[in-house]
Structure 1
């Protein structure tokens, strides 16, 4: 295992909140963060709509 991304936070509570949020993200969103493509997060957050 190796460290692929790190961030700085002013408060430990902010770091913990971000880590919890990140754990729920898709692999694609996590890979965008690792690559530094923060601008892609909104498009990766949208879920495809299913037709009934």
Structure 2
């Protein structure tokens, strides 16, 4: 199955890259999809804590 890169970011050092990768791994699928679309309004809405 071919792999397609949907989102990428350049970092000056590996420590920052690893920190962002760990943060993204904890996100919901909806948040990741909003990031891929570049829909930062939805991303902020999805980041709010649900009570």
TM-score by length of 1: 0.77
Task: Identify the residue that residue 30 of structure 1 maps to in structure 2.
Answer: 32
Q: Based on CA coordinates, which of the two structures has the bigger radius of gyration?
A: 1
* CA–CA separation in structure 2 for the residues paired with 1:19 and 1:12: 10
Query: 1:15, CA displacement in angstroms?
Result: 0.7
User: What pairs up with 1:9-48 in 2 under 5 angstroms?
Assistant: 9-48=11-50
Gaps of 5+ in 2: none
Superposition CA RMSD, Å:
1.3
TM-score by length of 2: 0.79
